[in-house]
Amino acid sequence: MTFPSSEQTSPTARPSRAAGRRLARAALAAAALALLAGCASVPLSSGAGLTSTARLGQESGSFGKTRSFADKQALAAARTVRIVPTTLSAQAASRVPKAADRVLVSNAIDRATCIALSDRFEIVAGNQPADLSVHSIVADIVPTDKVLAGASVAVSLGSSFVLPVGAPRLPLGLGGLSMEGEALDRSGQQVAALVWAKGANSLTTKPRVSDVGDAYALASSYGGALATLLAKGTPPPDVNIAIPSGQRVQSFLGGKPKYAACDAFGRQAGIPGFVSGMVGAPPEWTDPSARAPAPAPAR
């Protein structure tokens, strides 16, 4: 007697396994597509908002773009820093019509910069004298496509139920951020400057259903790059893989910052913010800085 194979005895097994293979192939195809085309292109600004661009170096970077200058000796001698609140260029402000969204981005930039600089410098209140005055300008914002971001969230969450990991973000409608930043000494002379631009990517930037979802997420990358330039006096690396300090971890979890001056820019949302980001919720749902006044555009 010939016994039927297990596939013959389980007619429902074939469609199930076939569906799994189709999903796996779709996920692999999406990953490959993301690697090829999953990064928003954001041009560097001209640096027009800086007090000087004369000493900026050549453009560098693969995942992002930077030009920088640093007076290493002057930076090494500095001990205290005050942060002048971030302003938006007229072009950036025109891209983000909602005042609340402008607040979210500018506060996220200042908060990230303040926390990152705290590893090396003492941060004082904005109305206090300091060795360095640090100011950033949002030169441009590439808005996130909220509809496509929502679709990416749905695809990722849906695929996570049948695959070991969620599918990569759709490589469409990605946002980006273009920044200018500088540090002035007590006499008002520029001792460091950074022109920086970076776009969201399909693999590491979680989609959020917000016009400024990607710009908000990229704020920490810019803050870290500016802090590295000021702390070390060398151009920031293309990819920062350093282990975060204890005070950065505490701040990420929504705890008290190392220096009280950083509280002027609001605390991070901690675990609730992390969870809301994973499910694609708009950042204003958990970020308390959404209740702050809107910054005025730079002139």
- pLDDT exceeds 90 at position 128: yes
Q: What is the pLDDT of residue 298?
A: 62
* Cβ-contact 179, 92 below 8 angstroms: no
Query: Where are the chain's structural domains?
Result: 11-291
Query: Could you give the C-alpha distances from 75 to 57, 120, 127, 183, 202, in angstroms and in order?
Result: 17, 11, 21, 9, 36
Residue among 230, 239, 180, 171 at smallest CA distance from 205: 171
Whether residue 294 is predicted with pLDDT greater than 60 in this model: the reply is no
pLDDT of 32 reads 45
Please count the other Cβ atoms lying within 10 Å of the Cβ belonging to residue 221: 20
Q: Is residue 21's pLDDT more than 90?
A: no
pLDDT digits (tens, 9 = 90+) for 78-125: 999 999 999 999 999 999 999 999 999 999 999 999 999 999 999 999
Q: So what's the pLDDT on residue 239?
A: 84
pTM of structure: 0.82
Q: Which amino acid is it at 215?
A: A
Measure Cα distances from 258 to 107, 218, 277 in Å.
17, 22, 25
- Which band of pLDDT confidence, cut at 50, 70 and 90, is reported for residue 160? low
What is the average pLDDT value for the chain, to the nearest integer? 86
* Token pair of 12 as six digits: 């429902």
The percentage of residues in the chain with a pLDDT greater than 90, rounded to a whole number, is: 68
Q: Identify the pLDDT of residue 167.
A: 74
- The reported pLDDT for the residue numbered 140 is 98
Question: Residues 233-252: what's their mean pLDDT?
Answer: 91
- Report the range of poorest mean pLDDT among 34-38, 176-180, 198-202, 294-298: 34-38
Look at residue 209 in the predicted model and tell me its pLDDT. 96
pLDDT band of 240, cuts 50, 70, 90? confident
Mean pLDDT is highest, among 23-32, 144-153, 176-185, 275-284, for: 176-185
Rounded to 5°, the CA angle 178-134-192 comes to 75
